[in-house]
Amino acid sequence: SVLSGTMRISRSRLLPSDQATVHKYWRCHNRAYLLQGNEAKSQYLKSTEFGLNHRNSDNKVKLHAFGIMDNHGHQAVSYSGGVKNLSHFMRVAHGVFGQRFNRAHGRSGAVTNGRPKTTLIQNESHAMRAQFYVEANPVRAGICKAENLKLQTFSSYRYYAFGVVDEHTKILTPPDWYIKLGDTPLDRQARYRGLFMKYLRDGGDDLAKQMHSL
């Protein structure tokens, strides 16, 4: 059909029906820099928290990582009890964010550019690399150096690498592979920092091997 190239494929056909972890990615409408201010980024994460706790997602969606930039956002998210819970979570979170953002800025219309992309994460090694990718965004964009990433309020890196808990990182659920990094929080944080820096140096080529030795 002429329309087949533009038809949207149902998420239920692309992702496992029961449970999975995904790399969620979205852009602002027309690639505008709507998240340029800290207030907007904070509002997005608060809307994410609202979506996680909403009855429609049935407390079966967990946020593992986030990196919010000026015109797009990345998150690592898992769902259980059906892919519908993931869809409900995103619909609520993005709907609430759009309403709050428009009200605060006296505007109307779309804030996000269509529905988010949700790429299936295949295994624990893939999950680690995906999370590093999410958190390394400010470094790749030249916003800060790797050694200063702890100061980035809208990256989950400071939680996993240094144990920082605040209004945004409190909504994180550490993934199983992170718990396996060490017996204590300090052990896990140190191992995480080492693996993250290795990822930046060599692109994570050896991470799969290292995961097998955990």
pLDDT digits (tens, 9 = 90+) for 159-177: 999 999 999 999 999 999 9
State residue 58's pLDDT score.
80
Q: How many CB atoms lie within 10 A of CB 206?
A: 12
Other CB atoms closer than 10 Å to residue 1's CB: what's the count?
6
Q: Using DSSP, state whether 106 is helix, strand or coil.
A: coil
**pLDDT of amino acid 52:** 96
Cβ atoms 62, 173 nearer than 8 A: yes
| Residue 8: predicted pLDDT | 58
Name the one residue in this structure whose structure tokens are 């002429």.
2
Strand segments (E) across 70-187: 72-79, 117-120
Helix (H, G, I), strand (E, B) or coil at 80: coil
Q: Which amino acid is at 19?
A: Q
Tell me how crowded residue 167 is: count the other CB atoms within 10 A of its CB. 11
Segments of the chain scoring below 50 in pLDDT:
1-7, 204-214
Q: Which of 113, 140, 152, 112 is nearest to 200 (CA)?
A: 140
Q: How far is residue 103 from each of residues 43, 88, 116, 150, 178, measured CA to CA in Å?
A: 12, 22, 22, 32, 38
Residues 6+ apart with CB under 8 A from 192: 160, 161, 178, 181
Q: Tell me how far apart the alpha carbons of residues 81 and 57 are, in angstroms, rounded to a whole number.
A: 9
Contact criterion met (CB below 8 Å) for 181 and 192: yes
